[in-house]
Amino acid sequence: MLELFIANKNYSSWSLRPWVLMRELEIPFVERLVPFGDKTEPNQFRRFSPSGKVPCLVDGATVVSDSLAITEYLAERAPQVWPADASARAWARSAVAEMHSGFQVLRERCNMNCGVRARIDSYSPGLEKDLARLDELWLQSLARFGGPYLVGQSFTAVDAFFAPVAFRVQTYEPIMSPDSLLYAKRLLALPSMQEWYASALRETWRFEAYDEITRNAGTWLNDYRAVGA
């Protein structure tokens, strides 16, 4: 049985990608949640992940770290990870690669913080550029392949890679086109995303460094997370 090691669901955007992909495609796995460590155990992920990072997929003696590497490993056994059409597959892979390595300002300014609502008070040029490119990419994908997902009728890896952005849209309500906002809501409505969100709200771990990023993005409005430590 595949084992997927992830971190806190409220904060860990990288963990969400393979998790939601496997849930939506009904690829069986065992979830191993290991919360972010503290100063007393800074390298706790090294127990199972060579890179010391999550997500990490363990398949017997095979260990695969990095969300994109996990996606490609899964595609070897589950071809539905990518669209069947070669043109759509190429488009999807390009979009995934761009998300995997790009949108740095969006990541740094608007981190994933599922159970919080905040208002962006000012848009830096870098954030405006990232949001404009995100809008452009989603709109082009939906128009070219007809939706409701980015490359057609089926949820694939490209949608999984943008799933954390959907939670960011929910948290910060950035200025985007109506069709892009509708796509984000479509992702948020998926059973797997609802399951992840409910778990995130129940988590009691709090990390001030992560919450501070959210506060710095603008005005902290509401916190729907369970009261915890």
Alpha carbons 224 and 117: distance in angstroms, whole number: 8
Shared domain check, 122 and 175: yes
Domain that holds residue 14: 3-80
pTM above 0.85, yes or no: yes
As given in the structure block, the two tokens for residue 137 are 């990419």
What's the CATH number where 181 sits? 1.20.1050.10
Task: Give domain status of residue 183, yes or no.
Answer: yes
Facing residues of 223 across strands?
116
**Tens-digit pLDDT profile for residues 19-63:** 999 999 999 999 999 998 655 565 788 889 888 899 999 999 999
Task: Grade residue 228 by pLDDT with cuts at 50, 70 and 90.
Answer: very low
What's the CATH number where 14 sits? 3.40.30.10
Task: Give domain status of residue 203, yes or no.
Answer: no
Shared domain check, 145 and 57: no
Instruction: Find where tokens 């948290």 sit.
Output: 171
Task: Give domain status of residue 201, yes or no.
Answer: no
* Residue-level pLDDT at 112: 98
* DSSP-based three-state secondary structure for 57: strand
Alpha carbons 194 and 101: distance in angstroms, whole number: 26
Shared domain check, 161 and 125: yes
Residue 47 burial (CB count, 10 A):
10
Shared domain check, 88 and 47: no
First CA to last CA distance, the chain = 33
Number of structural domains (the chain) is 2
Shared domain check, 67 and 100: no
Instruction: Please determine, for residue 201, whether its predicted confidence score (pLDDT) is greater than 90.
Output: yes
Alpha carbons 135 and 85: distance in angstroms, whole number: 24
